[in-house]
Structure 1
Amino acid sequence: MDDIKIGEILLPGEESEQERRERRVRSGFWPTFRRAVRQIPFSRDVVAAYFCAVDPKTPTRTRGILLAALAYFVLPLDFIPDMLAGFGFSDDIAVLTAAIAAVSGQIKERHYQKADEAMRDRPNE
C-alpha cells in the first residue's frame, strides 16, 4: 500500500462524513478488534485512538483522521480482505499506523486510561 492511498484514506472529510464514519466505527470497532487483536502489535494505541476519535474534546481534524482510519479498519472489504490469515489486517495496520503517527500528540493520557480499562474489562479480545 503506497503513501498516496493511505493519504487518501486518511482525509478527515466533511462533518456529515465524519458523523457517518463515527456511527460505523462505534458499531463495528469492538467486533473487528476482537478478530484482529493478535495481529496488531500496538493494540493499546489502537484502542486509545478509538477513544480519542469518539471524544468530543478532540479537535475536529484529529477526529476526522482517526475516524477515517478506524472506519477503514472496521470495513469488511478493503484492499486485502481481513479473512486472509496472517495478511488480512496488514493494510489496516498500515493505515492505523499512519493515522496514529499523524495525530500522536492528540491522543491523551485519558484516552490511554480508557483503553487500559476497556482492555482489562474485555479479556482475550
Structure 2
Amino acid sequence: MDNVKIGEILLPGEQSEQEARARKVRRRFWPTLKRAMRQVPFSRDLVAAYYCAMDPTTPMRTRGILLGALAYFVMPIDFLPDMLAMVGFSDDIAVLTAAFAAISGQIKEDHYVRADAALQSTPDE
C-alpha cells in the first residue's frame, strides 16, 4: 500500500465523487462480501458500514469516508488482488479498520439491525 496511502483512500471527496462511489458500492458490495465472508473477521461491521454509508441522514464526511473504504473493498484490482487466497483481503481490512476508527460511533444501532437481517438472508442487492 506504499503507492496509495490509506488517508488518500478515505478522503471524503466532493458530492459528485461520493455519488459515483455510492453507485459502484451498491453494484458490487454484496457479490464482494460473499467472496470475502470467510476472510473478513468483521462482516457485521462491514455490512453496518454499508447501510450507514447509504443512509441519507449520515453526515457527509462520514459517508465520504465509508464510501471511500467500501469502494476500495469492492474494487477487484487493488494493492493485493482479492483473488489471492488468505491475503487478498488483508489490504481491504487495513483500509476498513482505518475507516472505522475515523468515523468512530457514527454507525447507529439501526444500521446494525439492518446488517443482522441482511446477513441472515444474504441479499443479492
Q: What is the TM-score normalised by the length of structure 1?
A: 0.94
Q: Structure 1, residues 40-60: CA drift from partner, whole Å, max 9, x if none? A: 111100000000000000000
**Which whole-Å CA distance do the structure 2 matches of 1:106 and 1:76 have between them?**
27
Summarize deviations over 1:16-55 as a string: whole Å, max 9, x none. Answer: 0000000000000000000001101111000000000000
> Which contiguous aligned blocks of 4+ residues in structure 1 show a shift greater than 4 angstroms?
none
Aligned residue identity for 2:101? A
CA distance in 2, matches of 1:77, 1:33: 15
Please state how far the C-alpha of 1:104 moved relative to its aligned partner.
Answer: 2.2
Report the Cα distance in structure 1 between the residues aligned to 2:98 and 2:42, rounded to whole angstroms.
12
- Specify every segment of 5 or more residues in structure 2 that has no aligned partner in the other structure, as ranges: none
Asked whether 1:122 is paired with 2:125, we answer no
Say if 2:37 is the partner of 1:37.
yes
How is 1:1-125 mapped onto 2 (pairs within 5 angstroms)?
1=1, 5-122=5-122
Q: TM-score normalized by structure 2? A: 0.94
Q: More helix per residue: 1 or 2? A: 1
1:57-115 CA distances to partner (integer Å, 9 max, x unpaired)?
00000000000000000011100011100010000010011101111211000000000
AA aligned opposite 1:68: G
Identity of aligned residues (%): 74
